[in-house]
Amino acid sequence: MALERLSQAKCFGGTQATYQHSSAETGTAMRFAVFTPPQAEAGPVPVLWFLSGLTCTEENFTVKAGAQRVAAELGLMLIAPDTSPRGDGVPDDAQKAYDFGLGAGFYVDATEAPWAQHYRMRSYLETELPALVAAELPADMTRQAISGHSMGGHGALTLALRNPARFRSVSAFAPIVSPLNCPWGEKALTGYLGPDRAAWGAYDACALIEDGARLPDILIDQGTADSFLTTQLKPELLEAACATAGQPLTLRRQEGYDHSFFFIASFIADHLAWHGARLRG
């Protein structure tokens, strides 16, 4: 479980680092990126997890979102895990498709062969990596928040809904809100979990809310020019589920924004401030 630091650089008075460790859950080496704010010199700081989308690694959010300056001002540690296991022996989609296999773990614990041996991102993020962070980094694990983009937005919503006592706040950028009802989700959940749709509900934010899961509130930004809006993301499904259940939701439709990291960079300061207020409360 020991951490190996692969890189580190001074950043806005804090440090931006990449770590690697041997994961018992995935059976592979796993990497994750950590921004540690300057306030950590005085003691543990609150943690914001950011889960990335299809094709991404731990680098995408770290390099493209521009989150470190505001995180340094707010005293937030940013942790960006990888999106799937990688390495020799880890299976990938036979056609090398971008939406299944490497880079597309969908934050599930797979039950179908050959994926079940390594694709255990749910347990990795719910249990293994938090324990490692608590043991090795100056993180205040009593104050955690989570966010994500696209597939990572799906991951952030479902992790928080399954673990409401762990996270003080949750937000997302253009999340897949109902994998049961979109092509990306149907492909991934069929492949990782098999054809029984009853097993998919634990990985669908709308289904979790319909089954009684609740959070204090949810913040979502969705671009109106997102090419995946109507076919894959379908924010109106989450809007309806929250309205029916009485689940507080702030869904902001941002005119003209697409699915890219330019969209995330445009609103990341809002999300950090929103989380920061709840982590201080």
Q: Which residues are catalytic?
A: 150, 226, 259
**Identity of the residue numbered 80:** A
How many CA atoms lie within 13 Å of 129's alpha carbon, on the beta-carbon side? 24
**CA torsion angle for 193, 195, 199, 202 (degrees, to 10)?**
70
Which of helix, strand or coil describes residue 278?
Answer: helix
- At residue 217, φ and ψ (nearest 5 deg) are -170, 165
Distance CA 138, CA 3 (A): 13
Tally of CB atoms within 10 A around 55: 15
| E strand intervals along 108-159 | 139-148
| E strand intervals along 65-206 | 77-81, 139-148, 167-173
User: Structure tokens of 268?
Assistant: 């990341």
Distance CA 153, CA 83 (A): 12
Output DSSP code: residue 124: I
User: Structure tokens of 2?
Assistant: 């020991």
Distance CA 221, CA 162 (A): 21
Distance CA 85, CA 22 (A): 11
